[in-house]
Amino acid sequence: MLYEINEKALKLESEGKRIIRLNLGDPDLDTPPAIVEAAYDAMKAGKTKYSSSYGEKPLREKIAELHGVKPDNVVVTPGSKWGVFATMYLMLRNGGNVIIPTPYWTAYGLIAKSLGAETRLLKTELENDWKVDPAELEALIDKDTKMIILNNPNNPTSKVMDDKTLDGIVEVAEKRGVTILSDEVYGAIAFTKTKSILEYDGGFKHILTNGFSKTFSMTGWRIGYIVADKLLVDKITRLNQITINNVPIFIQDAALKGIELRAQIATAIKQEYEERAEVASKMLTAAGFSFSKPDAPFYVFPKKAGLNSEKFTLDLLDKGVAIAPGSSFGDYLEHFRISLTAPKEQIEEALNIICEAPK
């Protein structure tokens, strides 16, 4: 449905209709100029050849420093989505099951399906503050469980997991010998402190996937990374070797510049999205929607009892607003996801239409 909405929005736009697009997690903000300049400088310096499938040394070192690990534990990937895919491919291609709390970024489920692995969904609810119950999680684990996927902060709820819940999940996973893949692509720009999976073990029982798309408004550049045990890093590097070979060096140089300016860039992005989230929260509350206030960019995931969000979303497209139905993230037909990836005035305009539309 997410893709259907996007296609319909594009079609309406091509027919000349104005659509406020709040349906994707693609930031409207431009990539910071210093990052663009770094790519250009690298291209001019001739950094346009094949290179290491692990990633460039200076970037791996910088990522390692950021996460307090060794460069050997870092591999650069073409976007974090590829990192998620590569990890799932290596761990699930021979079958087994993967446990994923919902609502979830459906790419995880689609990847599992493409590998013939079973997906075991663990439903969480707004009414319970989107908390995962470690006991319920444990009940889903069996001898074929290869992996638990966490997305912290979460897309679509923008909820940051509280430390106690995360501690409980890690305890269960370690007791049962299951690896956690933690997708922390929104972590660096969360409004509240987000505990990373890397804070748990020096032995790399778990895996971090991360990227530059969200923190640095670099979605189209396609660069991300994995922090993991050296054995897995080597295996992913071998996958890089037989597929993409390497992320272009000039893009790695740009990403390196991003990390150098990280504090400044992340602060500006956080501030902008916190203001947007505040505007959206006020309007949604006044209109009687239930939701948890975002702890991070870019989403709000409101609920109205009895709502059919698929119909609601399609009707809104005809009114010039694109959002995503809750059913695109699991069993959440009464919810919808608004991406705050447009300027504040457009968000206000769209929210007026959303709040006034028949439910």
| Contact residues: ligand PMP, CB under 6 A | 25, 79-81, 105, 151, 155, 183, 185, 211, 213, 219, 224
Nearest to 295 by CA among 311, 278, 320, 312: 278
Of the two residues 60 and 81, which places its CB atom closer to ligand PMP in the complex?
81
Would you say 221 and 31 are in contact if contact means Cβ atoms under 8 Å apart? yes
Of the two residues 108 and 204, which places its CB atom closer to ligand PMP in the complex?
108
Q: How far is the CB of 46 from ligand PMP (least distance, A)?
A: 27
Q: How far is the CB of 70 from ligand PMP (least distance, A)?
A: 23
Q: How far is the CB of 304 from ligand PMP (least distance, A)?
A: 24
Of the two residues 217 and 313, which places its CB atom closer to ligand PMP in the complex?
217
Q: How far is the CB of 79 from ligand PMP (least distance, A)?
A: 3
Q: How far is the CB of 219 from ligand PMP (least distance, A)?
A: 5
Tokens representing residue 343 in the block: 């300027």
Of the two residues 245 and 285, which places its CB atom closer to ligand PMP in the complex?
245
Q: How far is the CB of 278 from ligand PMP (least distance, A)?
A: 22
Of the two residues 79 and 258, which places its CB atom closer to ligand PMP in the complex?
79
Q: How far is the CB of 251 from ligand PMP (least distance, A)?
A: 12
Tally of CB atoms within 10 A around 242: 8
- Where in the chain does DSSP place strands (E)? 20-21, 74-77, 97-102, 118-123, 145-151, 179-183, 207-211, 224-227, 299-300, 321-322, 324-325, 336-339
Of the two residues 194 and 304, which places its CB atom closer to ligand PMP in the complex?
194
Q: What is the rounded CA–CA span in Å between residue 34 and residue 36?
A: 6
Q: How far is the CB of 223 from ligand PMP (least distance, A)?
A: 7
Contacts of 154 (CB under 8 A, 6+ apart): 103, 104, 130, 160, 161
Of the two residues 115 and 149, which places its CB atom closer to ligand PMP in the complex?
149
Q: What is the rounded CA–CA span in Å between residue 186 and residue 263?
A: 15
Radius of gyration of the chain (CA): 20
Q: Tell me the Ramachandran region of residue 204: left when phi exceeds 0, alpha when psi lies from -120 to 50, beta otherwise.
A: left
Contacts of 143 (CB under 8 A, 6+ apart): none
- β 179-183/207-211 pair status: parallel
Largest CA distance in the chain: 59
Q: How far is the CB of 105 from ligand PMP (least distance, A)?
A: 4
Of the two residues 119 and 213, which places its CB atom closer to ligand PMP in the complex?
213
Tokens representing residue 286 in the block: 């006044």
Render the burial of 119-151: b for 16+ CB within 10 Å, e for the rest: bbbbebebeeebebebeebbeebeeebbbbbbb
Q: What is the rounded CA–CA span in Å between residue 78 and residue 252?
A: 10
Of the two residues 141 and 150, which places its CB atom closer to ligand PMP in the complex?
150
